A and B are shown apart, each in its own frame.
Chain A
Amino acid sequence: MTAETVPFFPPDLFEADREALLEAVYTAGTAADQKFILGERTARLERELRARLGAADAVACSSGTSGLTLILAALDIGPGDEVVVPAFGCAPLASTVISRGARPVFADIDPAALTMDPAAAEELITPRTRALMPAHVFSVMADMPRFRTLADEHRLHLVEDSAVAQGGVLRGRPAGRWGDAGVFSFVQVKTFGMPGEGGMVVTDDTALAERVRMLRNHGQDGRNRFVHHTVGYNSRFDEAMAAFQLHRLDGLEDRLRRRAAIADYYSERFAPLSEAGITAPPAGGDGRCHYVYTLLAEERDELAAHLAAHGVHSHVYYPRALPAQPAFAGHAPPGARWPNAEDAARRNISIPLYAHLSDARVEHIADTVCSFTDREGRTR
């Protein structure tokens, strides 16, 4: 067992790329064109991701959250409209909809995948529904084939919150390309994280991409400065970060493979623990994205304390379902319940998963989780 602690949020994510970061800052900062935002490097990063995904377009913006807002705005979703979103996940699923003046309608999730349940979503479709916005959660992509069918049948937009899922593939189609548009987040902890805030909108709809492009820079068309065609946003991308991401693209596939290998190892070790009240995601399989490794534990807080006592930091991302957040309570119909989301909120706990986690640490983490159940056996 290692003596030092294993952080959940590692501080040394970019240690190996320190020189590259300094170089990116220096070159972007001293470039002759003095274009620090939305310049040639950003355009190159957009082209690289577009090509890798096989998407029609990729539009860099200031964050994954902001990307969702830009997509909703580009789809002209506004007051009076409803968007069906999962009841379990990150705040932007509801707040981006509210920021457009529209109404989030919360659908329960699948108890194992933790992603929005298509059947639950379908029941909530009304004449005011304009879009479905499923999200990929932790390491599992939402059931996009069914959401695609559902959206087509009901003539709804499909907005894919793929913020956490860069690198994921389902039935041969990459995360981000199942919806009318999808997003990636590059905040440091993500699979293609960087030392700053940024995101990307990806889409196969070139007209939609053009609207997003206009919306991200104050409604300007990129030709006539200071003429604002639409009420836009400031959601742009910094050149220094684009230069750094271009450098980091080379290692992305390796880092994704490493994450998947760690996750598979965890799942193999944890498969027998379900009897003891700890449910782990399955090893491998289609439609996986290895962003965060999350267990469902009956005795969640005790497990967290046990891990901490052995130097392993864990994190509870979503201690409450979205409709239970004070900010969104007004959008939760009185008396409505989301049993699977509430259950996931009670039990979810995430353990360290990042590419530079050593084998020894991975084993130590797995051993520690397993010993929690041994301890249970001993103490009962």
Chain B
Amino acid sequence: MDRGKFSHGAMVAEFERGLARWTGARHAVGVNSGTDALVMLLRAAGLRPGDEVIVPAYSFIATATAVVHAGGVPVFADIEEHGHGIDPRSAAAALTPRTRMIMPVHLFDRLADMAGVGALARRHGLTVVEDSAEAIGMRQDGVHAGLLGAGGALSFFPSKTLGAIGDAGALLTDDDTVAERARELRHHGRSGRTLDDFPGISNPTVQAGCNSKMDDLQAAVLLAKLGRLDADIARRAELSARYDARLRDLPGVRAVPGGTPPHPGGGRVVYVHLIEVEHRDDLVAHLAAAGIGTETYYPVPLHLQPCFAHLGYAPGDFPRAEAACAAAVALPLYPDLTDAQADRVCDAIEEFYTRRPR
């Protein structure tokens, strides 16, 4: 940062190199947010206006709005019976002649069924792009999330496994063309070198791009945290196992992360410790009263969001996604959470379900 370019500068370039090394990606492209990374990924991977992209009905909104911003149409599919990834069979039912891509999302603690998604994509000539916003550190047979298809998006939102102190994101890909297009798109569609190069702002504009440059301040924070990412991930796993041991057999708790094994070859990284419970909203209120914060990821499935009302979906279309939305609650999980704090969370949950008439 002392070099005097405070965004899209030398620190961003250095972070990109570090991130590429850590993930094994041929290209890491630093941008302003995970959401922006998704939009640019879809465009760089060749989405054309009107193309349909199959996405899961259970995810953060950006999974679907990114498709819209890239000029496409999101088509929803249900999630697996166990776990929260897209169900390849439901995805198959969503195919139309306009389907061009499928975008699995790796939610919370494990990869989606990439073997199933890959088989479907090969059968129907679809491009696979990954919403790996939550998936840093998750690998399938040693290959990092985001590198199992044409490319993937990472989010460095502050609460993420690798979090900045503001908005930041990146795009991972092994594909030179996807990387080059994305590098152009993030800097107003300008060709050639612009990273760490001020005069490059006058390079020819070859695509209708956007401004999604990463701040060097965020890159500096991320680079520092990248050095302790393995330790952070290990601590998250420890805390998650601690929660699981206490909560897995508790009446009222229907599912804990450790209760569902990853797909074959897939490793776990617990970004979010999400449990599915009965009387979710009452539990959330009970915990809040005890000073314990939770997150409801996600209360409304994508196909029932007001912004997609025009797509014509109805309640009951994707029962597993809808059930997850009604039962899911994420518990506090971050590396500096103490064992005692985790135990206090478990005590409060236990109190809620044991005291409550069933």
**A residues neighboring B (CB under 8 Å):** 8-14, 25, 28-29, 34, 36-37, 62-66, 69, 90-92, 94-95, 98-99, 101, 187-188, 194-197, 218-219, 225-234, 236, 238-241, 315-320, 325-328
Contacts and interface: CB of A to CB of B under 8 A. Distances in A.
Contact of B205 (A194, A218, A325): A325
Interface string B206-248: 1111111101111000000000000000000000000000000
Given A36-B165, A234-B167, A318 B307 contact: no
A91 B190 contact: yes
Contact of A328 (B33, B202, B208): B208
B287 to A, nearest CB: 16
A320 B205 CA distance: 10
B168 to A, nearest CB: 9
Contacts of A239: 165-166
Contacts of A194: 6
A65 B206 contact: no
Given A13-B4, A317-B202, A233 B208 contact: no
Given A13-B4, A63-B211, A226-B61, 6 more contacts: A37-B157, A62-B211, A91-B205, A188-B7, A228-B65, A317-B202
SS class, residues of chain A in contact with chain B: loop
26 contacts: A37-B166, A37-B167, A62-B33, A63-B32, A91-B190, A91-B205, A95-B210, A187-B7, A195-B217, A196-B166, A218-B35, A218-B65, A225-B296, A226-B297, A227-B306, A228-B61, A228-B300, A230-B307, A231-B69, A240-B217, A316-B202, A319-B202, A325-B204, A326-B205, A327-B206, A327-B209
B202 to A, nearest CB: 6
A91 to B, nearest CB: 4
B201 A317 contact: yes
| Interface size class of chain B, counting residues whose CB lies under 8 Å from the partner chain | 35 or more
Nearest to B310: A231
Interface in B300-330: 300, 305-307
Nearest to A66: B211
A198 B216 CA distance: 13
A234 to B, nearest CB: 4
Contacts of A232: 61, 65, 307
Contact of A99 (B5, B205, B210): B210
B283 interface: no
